[in-house]
Amino acid sequence: MTLATIAADVRAGRRSAVAVAREAIEALRADPYVAVTHVLEARALAEAEAVDAIVAGGGDPGPLAGVPYGVKDLFDVAGLPTTAGARARIDAPPAATDAEAIRRLRAAGAVLVATLNMDEFAYGFATINAHFGTTRNPHDPARLAGGSSGGSAAVVAGGLLPLALGSDTNGSIRIPAALCGVYGLKPTHAALPLDGVYPFVDSFDDIGPFAADIAGLRLATEVLRGEAWAEEAPARIAMLGGWFAENLSPDMAAARDRIAAHLGAGTVELPSVDIARSAAFLMTAHEGGQFHTPGLADHALLYDPATRDRLIAGATLAPEIVERAHRFRRWFAAQADRLFSRWDVLIAPATPCAAPPIADPMIVLGGQRVPARAHLGIYTQPLSFIGLPSLAVPLRACGPLPLGLQLVGPPGGEARLFALAARLEAEGFAGGWPRPGL
């Protein structure tokens, strides 16, 4: 059931929030995808009982009444340590209060039932976690779910929950959304509340929701935002070519071309995208390394070596190199602004290919096999580098495994992204993949 259907049933008294929560808890305890880090049974049932009490009293619990959801394990949940997916934080002091995003969802009637798996400290595109395990793709459990918000994408794709929250620094919502066949939003930078979210890179960090249908994703986003968008359909749509048309698998290239033909969209290019990706890597490593320097000094051996070594390298980058990356970022943002003076929405692949196997977590770029954990963000990283909103849209009839596109807009342009996604869903080109086994 979609989250809107659940909310409508609970508000009308056709289903109880407690019954919905119990079903979700039972499904999450089974967790065939290594997606769940904690099931919050006592809290979930208490929140659900409060929703039912409001309904019984003739009140309205909110637009997400009784909708069960989970959060990536870097959102503060009162009474729990915020692990950020790290063994080093398993015994961290418990959070005193919920993250602001959780408070807003609860005020809208949603019921928090779980925390979800992620790459350690959100540094990766695969959800390969040395402590909590590797999250599996519901559409082929032998394959990666993507990351770093892989647990959030997997529970929605697998039908365990209708809604989940993740974070996106360089692609960590869009990549798992695409690989798992669900919708996911990386908003305009800092448009959604980051209070109570464990940081990684302040320059790029954002939060956003996952859902199986575009209407549900929009509803959840508007709750998080605090207001609805006016309807705003895009009139001028173009495909991003150049860098964004290279290294595509045959299935991804065919899907991209099919959408372009359907929309009658021409091709435009952003200049120097390769440099933008390199600059994003530098800034990520530097800011992340600087933030983690105290932790590395105190307990470096508790870090996953794949995370630790990149953070140490980033912390030692020369300041003049980092400043050059910042200067380039300003120039690159101006180039994007020029494109958006002519186009409302730009479309790009979210990933170059479908989910790689867990046993061989590699992808091919430029004819070379490279680790998926570091390189699945080849198309997402240059766009979040300049804070653009980007909506991951799952494609139908694209091959044996899910693939997704990014709909990209100027800062503040989310309404047009949602309108285009709704159009593609209505016309049969997009939509959440069927639940596994159905």
Structural domain spans, the chain: 3-225, 237-426
Strand order in the sheet with 183-186: 36-39, 111-116, 68-72, 163-168, 206-211, 183-186, 390-394, 404-408, 345-349, 237-240, 266-268
pLDDT value of residue 222: 98
Reference 173, options 346, 363, 395, 380; nearest CA is: 380
User: 401 — phi, psi (to 5°)?
Assistant: -130, 155
Q: For the CA atoms of the chain, what is the radius of gyration?
A: 20
Contacts with 348 (C-beta within 8 Å, 6 or more apart), sequence order:
239, 240, 244, 379, 383, 405, 406, 408
Same fold, 3-225 and 237-426: yes
Predicted confidence at residue 434, as pLDDT, reads 80
pLDDT for 354 equals 98
Query: How many Cβ atoms are within 10 Å of 280's Cβ, its own excluded?
Result: 28
Judge whether 152 counts as a catalytic residue.
no
- The active-site residue, picked from 16, 149, 167, 172, is 172
pLDDT score recorded for residue 327:
98
pLDDT digits (tens, 9 = 90+) for 84-98: 999 999 999 999 999
Residue from 132, 141, 49, 43 nearest 437 by CA: 141
Residue with tokens 């070519």: 241
Do residues 351 and 393 lie in contact, with contact meaning Cβ atoms separated by under 8 Å? no
Residue 330 has pLDDT above 60, yes or no: yes
Over the stretch 46-64, which tens digit does the pLDDT of each residue have?
A: 999 999 999 999 999 999 9
Average pLDDT over residues 126-141: 97
280-294 mean pLDDT: 97
Q: pLDDT-derived band of residue 435, with 50, 70 and 90 as boundaries?
A: confident
The stretch 218-240 carries a mean pLDDT of: 96
- Identify the residue whose tokens are 């647990």: 151
**SS3 (DSSP) at 141:** strand
Amino acid at 399: G
Say how many CA atoms lie within 13 Å of 355 toward its Cβ: 32
To the query of whether residue 148 is one of the catalytic residues in this protein, the response is yes
The predicted-structure confidence for 243-267, as pLDDT tens digits, reads as follows 999 999 999 999 999 999 999 999 9
Three-state SS for 142? strand
Averaged pLDDT of the chain: 97
**In the CATH hierarchy, which fold is given to the domain comprising 237-426?**
Amidase signature (AS) enzymes (3.90.1300)
Q: What is the pLDDT of residue 97?
A: 98
Q: Rounded mean pLDDT of 30-59?
A: 98
> Average pLDDT, stretch 222-233?
95
Number of Cβ within a 10 Å radius of residue 436: 16
Q: In terms of CATH architecture, what is 3-225?
A: Alpha-Beta Complex (3.90)
Give me the pLDDT at residue 437, please.
60
Cβ 25 vs Cβ 42: under 8 Å: no
Please report where in the chains the tokens 């009162």 appear, as a residue.
78
